[in-house]
Every structure is written in C-alpha cells, then in structure tokens.
Amino acid sequence: MHRNRVFAASETNFKPGNTAARLFGVIAILAVSFGLAWAAHMYFAVHNAINSAGGNNNSATSAKILARQPISVLVLGVDQGIEGRHEQGNSDTLILATLNPSKNKATMTSIPRDTLVDVKGDPGNKYFMFRVNSAYEVGGSKASMKTVSSLLNVPINYYLEVNMKALKSLVNAVGGVDVNVPFDFSYDWCSFHKGKQHLNGRHAVAYVRMRKEDPRGDYGRQMRQRQVIEAVAHKAMSVNTISNYRKLAEIFNKYVKTNLSFNDMIALALNYRGCMKKMDSGYIQGHDAWINGSSIQVASNEELQKVSNKIRKNLGLDTETLDNEETRQNDLNNERNHLKWDDPNPFTNYQVFDSNSDTPESSDNSSGSQSSQSSSSKSDDWLDIFK
C-alpha cells in the first residue's frame, strides 16, 4: 500500500482546471499527430502518383523551377481511349503555356492541329511539312516539343500529356469549373446558355468537343479548351482541392504523362501560382489552304513572328527573327505564287517545296509533296476526338 501511494499523485496537485487542461492537451497532441500522419500519407500518395506519371522516381526539383525562372510547358491532349481507341493517335489539342513568376504573368497559346509545320523527329522524313498534330504520332511528346520549339523559336522545358478521357474525371475532382459560354448551343445531350455557367465533368467534355456549331470553327473550340484548362488549373492550385487529393492522384497516375517531378509540381503550386492572376490567352491564326487534296492551316511569317515575340518576352528572352523551314516555305510561295494573305478564300496554289530545293519545278514531284499526299490519307484515318 505504501508503494502504491509513492507512485500515486498527491491530491493537492490536482488543482481546479488541471484535469481539463490535461485533457485538452492530450486531444491537441493527438490531433497534431493524426494531422501529421494524414499529411504524410497524402504527400507520399501524391508523390508516387506524379512520379509514376513521369515514368521515373526522380523527385528532385528542376534547377529552373528551384530558381523561380520563367518556364514553358507544352500541354498535349491526346485521343487515346476515346471511343474505344488504343493506338498512338494524334495530339488534337496543343497548347504552349509559359509562366513567369517575376512578372506574375502567364501565356497560353493554342496551336491549331492542322497548322503546316516541319515535323521533327521523323527519321524517314515521311511527314515533312505536314500537320502539327502528326508529330505526336511520329515520336510522341518529344517530337511534338521539338516541332513546336522549332516552329516558334522558343525553348520548351516540360510537357504535360493528358489523355482526353481524363477530362471528365479531372473536372469532377476539382468540384466542377465555371466558364463564360459565348453563345447558346447544345451538344451530346448537354445544353449551354450564353453567360457564366458551372460545368461538371460530362458537360465540360461536351463543351470542348463541339466545333461545327461554332461560328469561329476550330478557333472557337480552342478558346473553349483554354477556358476549361485555365479553370482546372485555378482550382487544382487552390487549397480547397486538397480534400480531393486522392482522386486527383489516381487520375494523374492513370491519364497523365509528364517530365515534371513531384517536387516540381509542389514548387509550381507554391511559387508560380501568382502567374494565374494575369493570363494572356491566344492562338496562332492560320490561313485555310488546300495542299495535295488536304485541308491545311498555313500561318504567315508575320503571325508566327508575333506569337514568337510574345512567348519569348514572357520567358525573359530577346526577340529574334524567325528563320526556319516554315518561313522558308512561305517566302518561296510569296515569291513564286504571289500569295494574298488578306484574301479570305483558301489558298489553292500553296506548294510544298523540297527541303533541298527552292525552285518551283522540284515541288511538283518532290518527296515532300508526295509524302504529304500519302500521309494525309493515313492521318485522316484517325478519328477527330472533338467531332
């Protein structure tokens, strides 16, 4: 009994309020412990998902992001998994985004999928001077990055390849998005009314897929794509989305491929979120053309230079005069075929000149023209995911 009394606290130590204080202290410690455990669980779950999407386990922060330097990201919307398809497919959505944290400014530039480009990464030169979306079929994200980088003379640091089947799940995971609908229309059993409207995942997919009823055609669709992507980015960077991290991690792991590491993602969310406050959205305006029976969008040198200047400026780079295969083809056509860029009618006299020739005769039977014609039938076989 004496021993028990030695280890028992004296009743005089239990002053009024001490019991309540101890109780609250234990509760606080447990709450903090559970909170830390939950945060750690969340951290590693998202960590694994993002690094799996990148195809490696490298979690180091990139030097550019660590130093808060301007960066560029090519966003590719691919058509795998849509309507039961599992082929490589094309990237029917291409958006080049730049983020400059010192200016708190971002740019988002849509590149029409039918834009005429010198496709890079094609060892057989089969797709010389053809649609930009065919670069993904040739060599995936790497070929797309090289092609767009050469087209606009801008460095591209990262890529974000999103299977368009994920759009519905992504929008639902962030609780839906708000957009300003430009006009009334209905598509895929979904109705849209001019003005601000909240979209769930199913409605978001229909919103970005519709094209034929838009008076601006594919350019109007690109605008709606940028709206939804920008809205998802805003919601994904908000604290309110943390509760849905598990859904986002699962979607990211299943439908997204990127060369951004987990730490890159965290650094972007923490240090680049201010860029979302000032967003400059736009697109490359092309001119309709028929080349060897294929419908193509040809961007003038003036248009390409304007877009290049805007992107380089936000990346903190000096402007440079474009000098690439696309500008060479335009110069040759301006000289030989006297193009009228202000004429709204499609070009019917635009020629693809051989890569090693600047004479009009070689373009008639050049490998470039032949490859464009043969590859057009193959490319057209891929179903348009937004039709």
Q: Mean pLDDT, consecutive 10-residue segments, the chain of 387 residues?
A: 46 55 63 55 57 58 91 85 50 89 94 94 79 91 96 96 82 90 92 94 90 83 85 70 65 84 83 87 94 92 98 97 96 95 95 80 39 39 33
Residue 205's H or E segment, with its range, is: helix 201-209
Domain count of the chain? 1
Quote the tokens at residue 89: 């497919």
pLDDT for the residue 365: 37
Q: What single-letter DSSP state applies at residue 347?
A: B
User: Would you say residue 340 lies in a domain?
Assistant: yes
- Here the CATH number for the domain that contains residue 331 is 3.40.630.190
Secondary structure class of 180 (helix, strand, coil): strand
H helices of 54-158, where?
63-66, 134-152
Q: Which residues of 184-212 are buried (b: 16+ CB within 10 A; e: fewer)?
A: ebebeebebeeeeeebebebbbbbbbbbe
DSSP 115: B
Give dist(CA 226, CA 282) in Å, integer. 9
Determine, yes or no, domain membership for 290. Answer: yes
Q: Classify residue 169: in a domain, yes or no.
A: yes
Q: Give the pLDDT score at 33.
A: 55
Output the pLDDT for position 286: 95
Rounded distance between C-alpha atoms, residue 187 and residue 65, angstroms: 40
Q: Which of 264, 283, 136 is nearest to 224 (CA)?
A: 283
pLDDT at 355: 84
What is the pLDDT, as a whole number, of residue 327?
97
Classified as helix, coil or strand, 290 is: strand
Tokens 């988002």 locate to: 108
Max CA pair span of the chain: 113
For position 185, what pLDDT does the model report?
Answer: 93
Query: 5 in a domain, yes or no?
Result: no
Please list, in sequence order, all residues whose beta carbon lies within 8 angstroms of the beta carbon of residue 108, skipping any fewer than 6 positions away. 95, 96, 97, 226, 229, 230, 279, 280, 281, 282
Q: With respect to residue 102, please indicate whether it lies within any of the assigned structural domains.
A: yes
Can you give the residue range of the structural domain that contains 226?
Answer: 44-381
**Does some domain include residue 2?**
no
The candidate with the shortest Cα–Cα distance to 68, out of 338, 214, 215, 269, is 269
